[in-house]
Structure 1
Amino acid sequence: MAWVKVTFPKWRKEMRSVQWGPLYNEFKEADLDPAELEAEISMLMQDEDVTKKAGIYIYVLSREERHLSIRAFTDNQKREAYERQTGVCPVCKEHFELAAMEAGHITPWHAGGRTIAANCKMLCKEDNRRKGGV
């Protein structure tokens, strides 16, 4: 497809699994800068938190992080954050057992936050879901 070659001039193996037809239909009229897209794609390909590299192409068009499958916090990172917070949810200020909490990024991934222990916070499931998930 010519649109793909013009919009994404650098071929990568991850492009094979992308469903290009729907993307073309949705973004064919968008004002896209191939150089800017390539710079962002290159950066995201190097990001160890991005576990679904093929999803990068959908993300740079849609801005939906779910396509990247951002690496989740490990059980040890969650336990460290839980202990640091003494089991208290920072939103509702109530105490919960570890199993009743979910990990989230203090500085969101899209704002440069890494998936490391120091950037992990534990929220009660209700507050985590209210903010839109991990």
Structure 2
Amino acid sequence: MLYTYFQKKLTSYIQKSMNAEQNEMKDKIQALEKEIQSLKKGLATDAKDTISCQQEPAKIVIEHLSIENVNIDHADLSNNFGNLGIKDLKGQLYIGTTYDKLKPPVSKEALPSHVNQTTPPTHPSPKVNVTSRTNS
């Protein structure tokens, strides 16, 4: 009889302690779930903020720009004509003083009527004096 009494007391004590632990565990689980929900909300707002910050930055429009000095440290003036091919080359090459060749041709319509005759213009021939040296 004493055995059954202790057995009942022990089982009731164990049940009470188990119920207390279960309630404590439920409270801890509920607190953790609330914390997880608040962290999810915080992450969602942080993600929205970072996405809005990562959009296109504001554009800068310069209407007038004044440059006072230009400093050139290095200028590469080398030309690579190694692969340049010439298929057709037209024109004339003048070496020396050829002033009459450089004048553009004049059309017959642009000339005055007294110049537009068919007779070629006569140019006076240059006068040349040739004298020989005498040995004396």
Please say whether Structure 1 and Structure 2 have the same fold, judged by a TM-score greater than 0.5: no
Q: Which bin holds the TM-score, normalised by the shorter protein?
A: under 0.3
The structure in which a higher percent of residues are strand is: 1
Structure with the higher fraction of residues in helix conformation: 1
Give the TM-score taking structure 2 as reference length: 0.14
Q: Provide the TM-score with structure 1 as the length reference.
A: 0.14
Q: Which has the larger radius of gyration?
A: 2
